[in-house]
Amino acid sequence: MADEGNVISDLKLDAPQPNGEDIGPAAGIISQYVKDLSVENPNAPQSYQWQDPPQLDVQFNIQADQIDAEIHEIALKITMSAKAEAGMVYMIDLVYAGLVGMRGLAPEQMHAFSYAEAPRILFPFARRIVADAVRDAGYPPVMLEPIDFNGLYLQQLAQAQTEPAGNA
């Protein structure tokens, strides 16, 4: 019995005990959703008869909003318009968002995940929604080209470092 007492007395009860809790740095998509979708087909049905191919203009924007300490909403905004000589063929405005959980990351890592990695993950889903919206408007679907969000992010960081800080 005395030996059992020694074993128990050798345990350090104040030392952290492994409990399976994951406390390491982590980032990932919690959910994703269409936040806003607008499809305008202002000149239908006349535009279906126009012979000249429309010129596409596609604009992208990324917005990151902090929801709480560990959750951010990342919104990928895509605006696409198709114009022909006779007028506007169609316009698609999509805001596709995702809730992103980030914990234990340095601020620069959180920024990079918000503006490079999360948009890269969300883009294929937004791309399909845009293609379906164009098709549902009565036109051949438009498959947007893949985007190198990481390359664009690094390019914008480099550009921000070379710009003057401003006047005092």
Q: What is the pLDDT of residue 162?
A: 86
In angstroms, what CA-CA distances link 136 with 35, 80, 90? Answer: 19, 15, 11
Confidence of residue 12 (pLDDT cuts 50, 70, 90): very low
What is the predicted pLDDT for the residue at 166?
56
Q: Does 168 reside within a domain? A: no
Residue 26 or residue 5, greater confidence: 26
92 belongs to a structural domain: yes
pLDDT (0 to 100) of residue 138: 94
Query: How many Cα atoms within 13 Å fall on the side-chain side of residue 165?
Result: 1
Q: What range defines the domain where residue 105 resides?
A: 35-145
Tell me, yes or no, whether 161 lies in a domain.
Answer: no
Contact 106, 25 (CB under 8 A): no
Global pTM value: 0.79
pLDDT at 26: 85
As for how many domains the chain has, the answer is 1
Task: Look at residue 83 and tell me if it is in a domain.
Answer: yes
Q: Is 118 within a domain?
A: yes
Residue 131's nearest CA partner among 76, 94, 98 is 94
- The answer to whether the beta carbons of residues 83 and 89 sit under 8 Å apart is yes
13, part of any domain? no
Res. 25 pLDDT band, cuts 50 70 90:
confident
Residue 14 within a domain: no
Q: How many CB atoms lie within 10 A of CB 98?
A: 22
- Mean pLDDT, the chain, rounded, equals 87
- Structure confidence at residue 72 (pLDDT): 96
Determine contact, residues 92/129, Cβ cutoff 8 Å. Answer: no
Find the range with the poorest average confidence among 16-20, 114-118, 128-132, 161-165: 16-20
Give the model confidence (pLDDT) of 98-126 as tens digits: 999 999 989 999 999 999 999 999 999 99
Residue 48 sits in a domain whose CATH number is: 3.10.420.10
Burial of 119 (0-12, 13-18, 19+ CB in 10 A): buried
- In DSSP terms, 77 is beta-bridged to 61, 95
In a domain, 155, yes or no: no
